[in-house]
Amino acid sequence: MKLIILDRDGVINVDSALYIKSPAEWKPLPGSLEAIARLNQAGYKVVIATNQSGIGRGLFDMDTLNAMHEKMHKALAVVGGRVDAIFYCPHTADEGCSCRKPKPGMFERIAALYNQDLSGVPAIGDSLRDLQAASALGCAPILVKTGKGEKTVAEGNLPEGTVVRADLAAAVDALLGKPSKKD
């Protein structure tokens, strides 16, 4: 089974330093939904692992998170794309949970759900902590320059083997062996 793990904010949708707190604020990045559809067509199961500490901070609740994801699922369906599962960490850094990236808890749960070793499984994020969590389980880390990505590239210290791509669409094109104008 082919699996790919994506961060959400800054990879699939526009990120905000003020958090994405409502379905209205959830806006897909150009080409990201179509890229997920291309992954599906190529036989990939697409899974999201996302830190959502806005819940722990009381900025939005579970119903709102579900509503955001309902919007995402519907927008994906329009272009023939599908996300298989969404893992989220609702905790703040202070709570010391094992799921908030860079901790690998969500990746461990993904490995358990699919009963699959994550070695070499592509994992795409825009922040260092996404890549660190991915690397901990042997995933192949891919950094996109959307969201916090440019800043993450500039700060360096990327896990060994990290590949940098312009955005999700370019990362997917490279993964599927298609030339992209953006890289």
Residues involved in catalysis: 7, 9
Radius of gyration over every alpha carbon of the chain, rounded to an integer in angstroms: 15
Partner that binds at residue 7, options Zn ion, Mg ion, none, CB closer than 5 to 8 Å by kind: Mg ion
- Interface residues toward Zn ion, by CB under 5 A: 89, 91, 97, 99-100
Among 7, 13, 40, 140, the residue binding Mg ion under the rule CB under 5 A is 7
Alpha-helical (H) ranges within 114-162 are 128-136, 149-155
Q: Is the peptide bond before 102 cis (omega within 30 degrees of 0)?
A: yes
DSSP letter, residue 161? T
Partner that binds at residue 9, options Zn ion, Mg ion, none, CB closer than 5 to 8 Å by kind: Mg ion
DSSP letter, residue 53? H
Distance CA 140, CA 152 (A): 17
Residue 139 in marked binding region: no
* Nearest CB to Zn ion, comparing residues 132 and 162: 132
Partner that binds at residue 173, options Mg ion, Zn ion, none, CB closer than 5 to 8 Å by kind: none
**Binding site members for Zn(2+):** 89, 91, 97, 99
